[in-house]
Structure 1
Amino acid sequence: MPVSARRSQPVRARGFSMVETLVALFVLAVGVLGVTALQATSLRGGSSSHQRSQAVLIAYDLMDRLRANRSAALNGDYNRAVDDDLPSGDGAPPLADDDLAEWFNTRLGLLPGGAAAINCGADGTCTVSVVWDDSRAEAGATARQFDFTSEI
């Protein structure tokens, strides 16, 4: 076969072109960004869920303390508003202030910006409201609240 006959045949392309490679990299980058956003949303949701679980356990713990010292709870020794000063235990009777001080320092400290309101009526119905800062989990959400009402 003469040399001129070989040149007239089309040249076969091999491998990927630069445009195909760039499109593949773009698609891969968009996929990685989507997975990253999904992971960040999952972490925020998990953190918020953990804090809510902590709030539930903390409220149940206080309700058990109220049941253990029922007479003081019915007298209103445990009652407090969210913005009241933190109790300081002195080790002397009445023991409700010691119980509250220990609860606020060890339990409520598990929540970011944790605060609580307690209201026990003479009929034996008590409400514990736990409030915490949940701004990391959801933009614009500054506080969450869990209310637990039970008879002691």
Structure 2
Amino acid sequence: MKVKAQSFQRNHQHGFAMFEALIALLICAMGVLGVVGLQASMTRAQTSATFRAEASFLAQSLIGEMWSDRANLAQYDSTTCGAACTAWQDRLAARLPSGTSTVTVSAAGVVTIVIRWTQPGESTNQFSTATSIT
């Protein structure tokens, strides 16, 4: 009778190692999913930073053009956008997703540039800068 009791206990523990391996596999899979989610977040943040840097570069390049063409400064205003302004807006639209801009030039030579863009699935982002060109 004692032999049957020991035999019963041994048979009852069969498959326990398989259960442990299944739990370990589940924990490993959760870790992999966490790493994939982190990678997606980092990629999204990097893309956002790239667009902010591009907007800053485009604004500074327009300011540089304005400095070299001070005699025609009023033509860079969005309401009276001249040929140079149109070419810049075309570059902006090509480099930023749904990129638009507003350029304001006051009579005193104060230039304000506001650039807006919208990444797919996100809200509208905005970069603005102001400088005085005299």
Q: What range describes the TM-score normalised by the shorter chain of this pair? A: 0.7 to 0.9
Q: Which residue among 84, 106, 110 is the counterpart of 2:91? A: 106
Q: Are the aligned partners of 1:119 and 1:126 in contact in 2 as well (CA < 8 Å)?
A: yes
Q: Which residue among 76, 79, 83 is the counterpart of 2:77? A: 79
More helix by share: 2
Partner in structure 2 of residue 122 of structure 1: 107
Partner in structure 2 of residue 94 of structure 1: none
> Deviating runs (4+, > 3 A) in structure 1?
none
Structure 1 residues without counterparts, runs of 5 or longer: 88-96
SS in 2 for 1:113: coil
Q: In structure 2, how many angstroms separate the alpha carbons of the residues matched to 1:77 and 1:70?
A: 10
Q: In structure 2, how many angstroms separate the alpha carbons of the residues matched to 1:45 and 1:33?
A: 19
Matched residues, percent identical? 28
Partner in structure 1 of residue 17 of structure 2: 17
- Displacement of 1:101: 2.1
Q: Are the aligned partners of 2:75 and 2:85 in contact in 1 as well (CA < 8 Å)?
A: no
Aligned residue pairs, count? 126
Partner in structure 1 of residue 129 of structure 2: 148
Read off the aligned partner of 2:125 and give its amino acid letter. R
Q: In structure 1, how many angstroms separate the alpha carbons of the residues matched to 2:61 and 2:119?
A: 21
SS in 1 for 2:107: coil
The normalised TM-score by structure 2 is 0.82
Aligned Cα root-mean-square deviation (Å):
2.5
